[in-house]
Structure 1
Amino acid sequence: MTQSTAPTHLRIHQFAGLKPGPRLLVSAAVHGNEVAGVGAIERVMRLLDEGSLTLLQGALTMIPIVNPLAHRLKRREGDRNLNRNLRPTPIPQDFEDRIANQLCPWLAASDVLLDLHSFNNPGPAFAMLGPRDNNGDLEPFRHQAAESALALAVGTGRIVEGWLSTYALGLKRRADKASDGTRRMALQQDPHYGVGTTEYMRSQGGYGITLECGQHEDPNGPEVAFNAILRTLMLLGMVAAGSAGVQAADPKRPVELLQLYEVIDREHADDRFERPWASFDAVAEGERIGTRADGTPVLAPAGGRIVFPNSKAEPGNEWFYLAKPSDRALT
């Protein structure tokens, strides 16, 4: 697609309550083929427009299609992965840089983010939350309690933590490799490459979660996304409890909390999985997950679960993650 035929604007909608309150940003299609949240956002906007849903306070910003180029092409990326190395760029080099220059100020102007995604392999919806409160260098944070409450409120039976710290391990390995001189490799070796929407949000003083609404084609994904939007609005006091027929998630439901601890890149196009994996399949210590192109086995270093296995990953990109039970207390 030539630059002249690429989308030339980002569609953003805002509903401003007449009383002060939280500033919530809801986004979808950061990856263009992850569309569960697109229709859900449109549905919420229709309810607000027709008066079936009433905004009691605060400001609700909604971006149904964050990456219109990737969405038009019906694929994950336009020129590159928008949800990596997300930050303003004085001299944009690609379409995603231009989107980031528009998106980042809206993130910085918000208090809370609900970012709606989906994934390749079959599996149930789950929420991803950020770090615990800390003053460290990687991702200092002070909204652990509020973000944990948000992750619980959207209603999934599984919550995952540890994204950026795990991603940093992969970045360190990539940095030790020789660059091929391409911009893609330079971005992948950049220390900021693990920063996406929620990480940028936290860097600007807010908090937020990523909600993975299930597999891309899961017919229940749009309903998961819609319920999550309404539950987030209810949690923040921006709409009345039970609005649009959506009830708060059961706070006593069983929730599995996992912590990512390892990311493994695909190194060669002939690297292959031992079997078709789905997110959160159990793996035993020493179990063979895959085989490198040269025949070297890829073994699980410990028992746990595999997350985001991607048999179509490009060499140099994430092939799969590993997770273990977390000792974090959410309440």
Structure 2
Amino acid sequence: MNHLPQPRHLRIHQFAGLQPGPKLLVTAAVHGNEVCGVAAIQAVMAQLDAGTLALLRGTLTFVPIVNPLAHRLQRREGERNLNRNLRPPVVPQDFEDRIARQLCPLLAAHEVLLDLHSFQGHGQAFAMLGPRDNQGELEPFAHADKESALAACLGVNRVVEGWLSTYELGLQRRAAKGADGSRAGALVQDPHYGVGTTEYMRSQGGWGLTLECGQHQDPKAPEVARLAILRSLVQLGMVAPEAVELHQPATPAEVLQLYEVIDREHADDQFEREWASFDAVELGQRIGTRFDGRPVLAPSSGRIVFPNNKALPGQEWFYLARASDRSLG
């Protein structure tokens, strides 16, 4: 167990162009063991410092290690998941609350966010897209076209939408079962719990994307992240187009919509096999088995997303997605 004192600061780097322009925030290591973005940010900062990359306009801010406690411990979380229930705390109760007290105003001070992540299972990089323009209560939004255009240029072949609305389904089911009395139990039933970096950014009038750059240890992931930063800067007009080869996919990216989340009920719930994100499932196919023998079947054909065989009871076990009718333009 870590015996050093907890980190007491966030390291923030900012480059201010001499001409007005967009305010872009790039973050990494929101989950401490997702380090590809850390390397990518360091590489881009080195390019800027060396003069091989010029910021023409706007403000570019980097936070290479958003959760320094989790990063020091080389695990996903410090004391809790920073990318859930993100909001300025009235009275901080844990390390992540203290980070949020600094991170939330920083997000609100910018217009665009690129949040760099990686994932546990095997698979290719993909982007998480926000909602379509709407005036609803869950996640009102008015910048869907900007997010779609950014997603289209990042160099990934798959884009996923529908996070917060699907997570809300899980919240409703957990609330119906009642809390266990712990703070963790209360948090996973909090209507705000699905809000992470991009969701908070949108709530403050901005917009942005989460980019899952690949598996945690994939040696290609840092380069995916670095190119995504450069392509974002070009897309926003902050650096010259010749600074990076823009991605021109041979075919449009596949767009999927999350529609269901299934929680693990018991520690002995088991998957039918070792699933990877975006593995295909057919209607009625057995995905897993509950501890008491009940089958867990696919309600429709589509893809399994974020399967987590380490999920604790009462937490998300896996998501399901199907083809979306959304176009990235």
TM-score class normalised by the smaller sequence: over 0.9
**CA deviation digits over 1:138-196, x for unaligned, max 9?**
00000010010011111100000000000000010011112111000000000000000
In the alignment, is residue 304 of structure 1 matched against residue 314 of structure 2?
A: no
Partner of 1:263: 261
Q: Distance in 2 between matches of 1:16 and 1:255?
A: 33
Partner of 2:177: 177
| Contact 2:34–2:117 (8 Å) recurs in 1 | yes
TM-aligned CA deviation for residue 214 of structure 1: 0.7
SS in 1 for 2:160: strand
Q: 2:313 aligned to 312, 315, 318, which one?
A: 315
Partner of 2:28: 28
**CA deviation digits over 1:73-102, x for unaligned, max 9?**
000000000000000002000000000010
TM-aligned CA deviation for residue 254 of structure 1: 3.0
SS in 2 for 1:140: coil
SS in 1 for 2:132: coil
Q: Distance in 2 between matches of 1:21 and 1:252?
A: 31
In angstroms, what is the RMSD of aligned CA positions?
A: 1.1
Partner of 2:134: 134
TM-aligned CA deviation for residue 242 of structure 1: 2.5
Partner of 1:287: 285
Runs of at least 5 residues in structure 2 that lack an aligned partner in the other structure: none
SS in 1 for 2:223: helix
Runs of at least 5 residues in structure 1 that lack an aligned partner in the other structure: none
| Contact 2:148–2:328 (8 Å) recurs in 1 | yes
| Contact 2:2–2:73 (8 Å) recurs in 1 | no
SS in 2 for 1:263: strand
In the alignment, is residue 77 of structure 1 matched against residue 77 of structure 2?
A: yes
TM-aligned CA deviation for residue 224 of structure 1: 0.2
Q: How many residues align?
A: 329
The one-letter code sitting in structure 2 at the alignment partner of 1:237 is G
Q: Distance in 1 between matches of 2:11 and 2:55?
A: 21
Q: Report the more deviating stretch, 4-13 or 296-305.
A: 4-13
Task: Give TM-score, length-normalised by structure 1.
Answer: 0.98
Q: Distance in 2 between matches of 1:152 and 1:252?
A: 12
TM-aligned CA deviation for residue 4 of structure 1: 6.9
Q: Distance in 2 between matches of 1:317 and 1:207?
A: 27
The one-letter code sitting in structure 1 at the alignment partner of 2:273 is R
Partner of 2:154: 154
Q: Report the more deviating stretch, 307-316 or 137-146.
A: 307-316
Residue correspondence of structure 1 range 1-331 to structure 2 within 5 A: 5-243=5-243, 246-250=244-248, 252-331=250-329
The one-letter code sitting in structure 2 at the alignment partner of 1:314 is L
Label 1:2 to 1:280 Cα distance change in 2 as closer, same or farther (>3 A): closer
SS in 2 for 1:242: helix
Structure 1 runs of 4+ aligned residues shifted over 6 Å read none
TM-aligned CA deviation for residue 329 of structure 1: 1.9
Q: Distance in 1 between matches of 2:92 and 2:3?
A: 13
The one-letter code sitting in structure 2 at the alignment partner of 1:90 is V
Q: Distance in 1 between matches of 2:234 and 2:180?
A: 49
